[in-house]
């Protein structure tokens, strides 16, 4: 079974050529790392979330949030104490817990993290790995580097699926997993982790045969059965995402 981030579909995001989507992702990264007010980053993030919800469905917003929520909580709790400038907002007795600078920094970090994550998610969710390789090759990236990226994008969800399958198998054999005590956590998850590592090691020969069948390491010119868009179709997609890029960078570059 092949597990990957990509999900087939016929949404407007799926129909766009992957090359302008990759370029637009670079623009998103630039926009989020430029110095901006929190409300500007909020608009950026809200726009990306709205595009995903409209084109892919609101349910597609849940997988990134399920993965990110521990990190978001840590950012929310640990950032304000290290930024003490500005006006005090939350005080207990004579101790200032949250200041205006700490709140602004926390919002900026949270919105940057969410916006960049959802931007990457929108691209990898709607671009097939074969098209990703062809697009990166079109930009001049070496085939070995393209293959490393695509293997990574396929390995992470495959390992996650293996983890859940092994947990389900252990539950069927031993009952409900008990993780209430620290010792129980180690006793419970150590066999699960061992089983996942064994499955990963077993997959090495399969991966080696896949690389060999793709001609990895050969120096002769590569060919491909698949083709990307050309001519007016590619130009139209480029113009659409170019307009979106200008709209995204306009508030930052002109300080709106």
Block means of pLDDT (10 residues each) for the chain, length 256 residues?
68 85 86 82 88 87 83 84 74 72 86 89 84 83 77 71 75 61 62 77 75 70 70 78 76 59
The pLDDT value given to residue 180: 54
pLDDT at residue number 235: 80
Residue among 73, 56, 62 nearest 123 (CA): 56
Which pLDDT score, from 0 to 100, does residue 212 have? 72
The CB density around residue 68, as the number of other CB atoms within 10 Å, is 16
Question: Among residues 119, 147, 135, 161, which one has the least CA distance to residue 33?
Answer: 119
**Predicted pLDDT at 135:** 84
The DSSP secondary-structure symbol of 37 reads -
| Phi and psi, residue 219, nearest 5° | -105, -5
Residues 10-46: b if buried by 16+ CB within 10 A, e if exposed: ebebbebbbbbbbbbbebbeebbeeebebebbbbbbe
The confidence score (pLDDT) of residue 184 equals 62
Helices (H), the chain: 12-15, 18-33, 38-55, 62-78, 100-126, 129-138, 143-174, 182-202, 204-213, 231-253
Q: What is the pLDDT of residue 41?
A: 86
Q: What is the pTM of this model?
A: 0.71
Q: Residue 37 corresponds to which tokens in the numbers above?
A: 């007010």
């Amino acid at each position: 079974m092949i597990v990957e981030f990509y999900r087939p579909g016929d949404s407007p995001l799926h129909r766009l050529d992957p090359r302008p989507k990759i370029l637009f992702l670079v623009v998103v990264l630039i926009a989020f790392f430029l110095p901006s007010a929190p409300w500007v980053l909020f608009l950026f993030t809200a726009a990306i979330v709205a595009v995903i919800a409209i084109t892919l469905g609101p349910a597609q917003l849940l997988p990134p949030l399920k993965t990110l929520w521990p990190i978001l909580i840590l950012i929310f709790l640990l950032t304000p104490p290290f930024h003490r400038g500005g006006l005090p907002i939350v005080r207990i007795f004579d101790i200032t817990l949250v200041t205006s600078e700490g709140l602004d920094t926390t919002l900026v970090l949270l919105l940057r993290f969410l916006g960049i994550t959802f931007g990457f998610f929108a691209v990898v969710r709607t671009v097939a790995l074969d098209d990703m390789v062809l697009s990166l090759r079109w930009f001049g990236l070496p085939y070995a580097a393209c293959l490393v990226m695509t293997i990574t994008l396929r390995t992470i969800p495959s390992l996650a699926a293996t983890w859940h399958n092994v947990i389900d198998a252990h539950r069927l054999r031993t009952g409900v997993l008990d993780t209430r005590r620290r010792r129980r956590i180690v006793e419970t998850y150590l066999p699960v982790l061992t089983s996942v590592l064994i499955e990963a090691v077993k997959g090495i020969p399969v991966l080696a045969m896949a690389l060999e069948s793709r001609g990895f390491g050969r120096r002769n010119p590569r060919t491909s059965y698949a083709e990307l868009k050309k001519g007016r179709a590619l130009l139209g997609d480029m113009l659409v995402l170019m307009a979106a890029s200008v709209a995204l960078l306009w508030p930052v570059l002109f300080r709106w």
